[in-house]
């Protein structure tokens, strides 16, 4: 089922999400929520989605990139579901690149992110997993983990002057 996406200004985006009790991960309500989040992410051409972006304040994110029309230059990322993710290590260097967000629809801004991150989480099977990601994948993980902490990418922009409407970003800022 395609779910309604929460938009900036809705308090659910600003409240830290609750961890999912591990024994509930494989139960039907959480499994259905994960399926609906994947369907919603694909419907709106997102590359990632956090549960509070569909009005559920629980620590679940889904990520996938497969020839995305909103991010045509993004490298492919296999479908990834992270429950209760926790960043346990990161690069000592940040890189700046453009981000958007389904909850801040129609904008792009330059955001510095760690070049690589290591995350501990649970998979949808309930199995614990440690994941190391770099580049755009690491960027999406940091963006989505921020959502779970009640943050959006605008909070991470040291300089709001790059903030652009999507059409103007395509016209003036997008690099070939
Ligand atoms: Ni977002």
- pLDDT score recorded for residue 104: 98
Is 28 marked active-site?
no
Set 64, 99, 110, 144: catalytic member: 144
Which whole-number Å values give the CA distances from 100 to 25, 31, 103, 114, 132, in the listed order? Answer: 29, 27, 9, 17, 23
For ligand 1, an ion, list residues with CB under 5 A.
101
In the chain (176 residues long), the average pLDDT of successive 10-residue segments reads: 98 98 98 98 96 98 89 89 98 97 97 98 98 97 98 98 95 74
Q: What tokens does 21 get?
A: 């009790």
Which domains, from first to last, does the chain contain? 11-172 (3.90.45.10)
- Residue 176's pLDDT is what? 45
pTM: 0.95
Dihedral sign of CA atoms 77, 135, 176, 163 in order = positive
The per-residue pLDDT for 74 is 84
* pLDDT of amino acid 175: 63
């Amino acid at each position: 089922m395609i779910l309604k996406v929460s938009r900036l200004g809705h308090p659910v985006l600003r409240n830290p999400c609750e961890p999912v009790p591990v024994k509930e991960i494989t139960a039907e309500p959480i499994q259905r929520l994960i399926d609906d989040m994947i369907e919603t992410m694909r419907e709106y051409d997102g590359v990632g989605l956090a549960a509070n972006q569909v009005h559920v304040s629980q620590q679940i994110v889904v990520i996938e990139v497969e020839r995305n029309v909103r991010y045509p230059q993004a490298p492919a990322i296999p479908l990834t579901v992270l429950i209760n993710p926790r960043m346990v290590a990161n690069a000592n260097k940040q890189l700046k690149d453009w981000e958007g967000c389904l909850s801040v629809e129609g904008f792009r801004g330059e955001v510095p992110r760690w070049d690589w991150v290591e995350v501990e989480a649970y998979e949808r099977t309930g199995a614990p997993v440690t994941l190391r990601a770099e580049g755009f994948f690491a960027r999406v993980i940091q963006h989505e983990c921020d959502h779970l902490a009640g943050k959006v990418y605008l909070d991470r922009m040291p300089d709001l002057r790059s903030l652009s409407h999507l059409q103007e970003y395509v016209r003036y800022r997008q690099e070939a």
